A and B are shown apart, each in its own frame.
Chain A
Amino acid sequence: MSKVTKNRLGTGLYIFGALLTAFSLIALAAGRRGALSLALPCIGLVLTVLGLYLNHSYHTRQGTARVSLYLLLVVGALIMVFPFYWMISSAFKTSAEMSIYPPTWAPRNWLNFENFRIALNTAPFEKYFLNSVMVTSASVAATAITTILAAFAFSRLSFPGREVIFSLLLSMMMVPFEMLVITNYQTIVRVGLNDTRFALVIPFTSSIFYTYILRNFFQTIPDGLYWSARVDGCTNWRYLWKVMVPIARPSLVTIILLNGLASWNSFMWPLLVIKTDANRTLPFGLYTFTTEVGSNNEQMLAASTVVVLPMILLFLFARKQIINGVARGGIKG
């Protein structure tokens, strides 16, 4: 046996062995007790050890590490993406195909748009979509403006108690929204905005968290820039919009993306304040479509595909910004 074949064999063996061990252990954990399920992990372990023994030279170890790295990553990626694949593929299945067991991996006809047609006709998803767009863009725009102004004041202007006020604001960030919701619900009801789309925007026009992020960025802009602009007769207002905002564009994009995602996906607040069908946003509309209409699974999945698709597209195009934003912001989108 040549060295290369031996190594290949070894690599294959130990990967196979490891997978076998893993799956049989899962089966064991899931409650299957029997001679075979006890024997399988043992066999897997033996194979793994044998495979590892067969390729133990330095070079192959590097190669194996490389292969197993990709293998692990691919398996993990498949698990992460699988629900999306399953959602989309099931959306194209007929109800007869949905009740095949074990399930088929792909629909017979990838162009079967029947479920989409039924789902979109049963509930006004285009209305939900429009509501989501309106609510999200309104609250994002309002938040961006209040955030820019406040971050400027907290980073550039000086006034008594600035730092104290800011640290008080930061400590208020600890309070979970779930606690504020109680009074905010009451306020919205009292002001008579219950069950309107305004109710989805007005409580979310200013955010301490985004102000904090933007202020941190504004503080990195050198003072010299400001003073030379002031000497040239530039007002604070002009300086903010002509100098600071353009410099801070990456940060602003981050804030807008995070805020947009949070607003688009928000669920609890609409569930609380919205009752009329015509005022629902997409996630909430989808939810009521499944709980109240009690539709078939394939139609449900078609509807959720429609809801998820814009987000997937957005992610594909703004992947870097979103990832950077989340990494910098440290909150969930």
Chain B
Amino acid sequence: MQAGSQAIVNRRKRPGVRRMMAHMAVFALLGAALLGMGLYGYRALDERTAEQKSIARVDVHLEAASEEVQALARAAAPGSDGEIRTGVDSRKRKLKESIASSVAQGLPNEQIARESADYLLGGVLRRVSDEEKGAAISKAFAEGMEGLAARIAEKVAQAESAMSIAKARLSLRVTEPGYALMYYYMPLLAAGAFCLLFAGALFFLWLRYDERKRARVGELLEPVDYLLPFFLGVAIFTLYPIVRVVIMSFQERYKLEGTFTGWGFGNYQYVIEGIDGTTNYFLQGLRNTFLYVIYTVPISTALAIVIAYLLNQKLRLSALFQTAYFLPMVTSITAVGLVWRWIFNRDFGVLNALLSLLGVDKINWLQQASHSMSVLVIFGIWSALPFTIILLLSGLQNIDDTFYTVAKVDGARQMRIFRRITLPLLSPTIGLVLIINSISAFKVFTEVNVLFNGSPGPVSNLYTVVYYIFDMLREKNELGRSAAAAIILFVFILLFTALQRLLQRKWKYD
């Protein structure tokens, strides 16, 4: 009896047990793969380092030898500097080849130094015409050769030890094959080790536990399976960037390649202070962005309240009206921005034509700096309206009808109902709309790009914060400064959100 039930259990394992086994297998394989990739990257990088070391060795040998030989020869024979220099220079190219071959053979530094000094000396002696001076130089070299070779060798050794694997990693070029493996060898090794450890821990538990407990472990592992794909994306493209950008903003002049000049507040300082005597585009962008928020958000919200209120009445053809009002929301800004450009055209634009009916002269909307903000604001309001109306409309529809019925029975007028019932009950939605709209207005970028044909306004007068971030990131390759600007933007968004929440709470309880 006992044996029979055991057999059944063995044949059909519990789902938890199967899950545990699968986890062990998958994590072991994954860990091995990651570890292998990391090791490959490390070895490739190590090779690269050795290569760069030998290149650096050749260069330093050459430089040090020519410097030292010149110095010694000059000291022995003053007054013939020119001849000595040409003598050394004439042999440099050939010397480089011979040093490279000796380095490749693995000869010791001192020997190479001695040979190259000898070789250069020959060149110098051939050029120095005065025989007395030549003899003096030869004599000086016969005496000082050992010291000279030692000095060169020391310089080379110093340069060699300065060349580390970390430096080689940063000097890699992004386009090299296998770059990712070499650059990310450390995280790869860490992730691989983690996976292997995890698989090992599971195996350890597997050995210690009986079938029931194994199934329990498998059940605990279930959420991991459901969350893993999600967390991979979040960890790599949201969590890591948040941490990394904060760090990056303190790495002065951080570049795409990963190089930076030092730690500190230099990026923030540059962003806020700019370069003396030139326009500080970040501050300009900050001012423009604030103006944009201050203009568009209240105007579009006010208009949207009115329109949403009207749309909320019992209407015929409400589907038609909805389509008309909400259409700008789905269409890409790049496409409709082009029409707005055409509408704002100075010579043939329909806006100037309409205004001329009222006797207004042609306005150069797009090319004149003083008008560019109005263009941006008009476009911004138009494109923000649909979204705002939708939110407010759904807020209006959530207001209980009985309020209105009671008010009407009491004989309240339309305007009074609107002020005393609709607005207060709508205020949470209005607050939400204000927050969402100002946050998205803070990030204005595409609109500027499209309206002004890829430049920040007609005379670089319409930078926005995000435009500045983008400019620093892509055109200037200054990731550190870009990060500093992004963090300042983030702080402003946070402050603004907090402020609006505060005001909203106050308004609600008044």
Answer whether residue A189 sits at the interface, using C-beta atoms and an 8 A cutoff: yes
1/0 per position for A282-320, CB-CB distance to B under 8 A? Answer: 111011001100000100110010011001101110010
A101–B348 CB distance below 8 A: yes
- Tell me the residues in window 321-359 of chain B with beta carbons closer than 8 Å to chain A beta carbons: 321-336, 338-340, 342-343, 345, 347-350, 353, 355-356, 358-359
6 smallest CB-CB distances across A and B, nearest first, come from A206-B233, A27-B358, A150-B230, A183-B241, A77-B324, A327-B394
Contact with B along A181-223 (1 / 0, CB 8 A): 1111111011110100000001111101001000000000000
> Size of chain B's interface in residues, with CB distance under 8 A?
105
Kindly state the separation between the CA atoms of A179 and B350 in the bound complex, as whole angstroms: 38
CA distance A307 to B338 in the complex (A): 11
- B387: chain A residues at CB < 8 Å are 326, 332-333
Residues of chain B with a CB closer than 8 A to A307's CB: 332, 334-335
* Bound CA–CA A268/B226 (angstroms): 31
Using CB atoms and an 8 Å cutoff, list the residues of chain B in contact with chain A. Answer: 15, 174, 179-180, 183-184, 220, 222-223, 226-227, 229-234, 236-242, 244-245, 248, 256, 307, 310-311, 313, 315, 319-336, 338-340, 342-343, 345, 347-350, 353, 355-356, 358-361, 363, 382, 385-387, 390-391, 393-394, 414, 432, 436, 439-440, 442-443, 445-446, 449-450, 453-454, 466, 469-470, 473-474, 479, 482-483, 486-487, 489-490, 493-494, 497
Of B227, B333, B336, B466, the most chain A CB neighbours within 10 A belong to B227
Is B222 in contact with A157, judged by CB distance below 8 angstroms? yes
Bound CA span A84–B241, Å: 39
At the interface, yes or no: A241 with Cβ under 8 Å from chain B? no
Which secondary structure dominates chain B's binding surface?
helix
Instruction: Kindly state whether residue A225 has any CB partner on chain B within 8 Å.
Output: no
Contact with B along A126-165 (1 / 0, CB 8 A): 0000000000000000000111011011100111001000
Contacts of B322 in A (CB 8 A): 319, 323
User: With A77-B321, A150-B227 in contact, do A183 and B391 touch (Cβ < 8 Å)?
Assistant: no
Contacts A178-B469, A206-B230, A315-B323; A304 near B244 (Cβ below 8 A): no
Q: Is A180 an interface residue (CB 8 A)?
A: yes
Task: Show 7 A/B contacts (Cβ-Cβ < 8 Å), sorted by A.
Answer: A86-B339, A146-B229, A176-B486, A180-B237, A184-B237, A187-B240, A312-B331
Contacts of A158 in B (CB 8 A): 223
Q: How many chain A residues touch B (Cβ–Cβ < 8 Å)?
A: 107
Task: Choose one: A27, A147, A311; the contact of B331 (CB below 8 Å).
Answer: A311
B359→A159 contact, CB < 8 A: no
Is the Cβ of B339 less than 8 Å from the Cβ of A211?
no
Residues of B within 8 A of A90 (CB): 339, 342
A118 near B: Cβ within 8 Å? no
Which residues on B sit within 8 Å (CB–CB) of A146? 229-230, 233
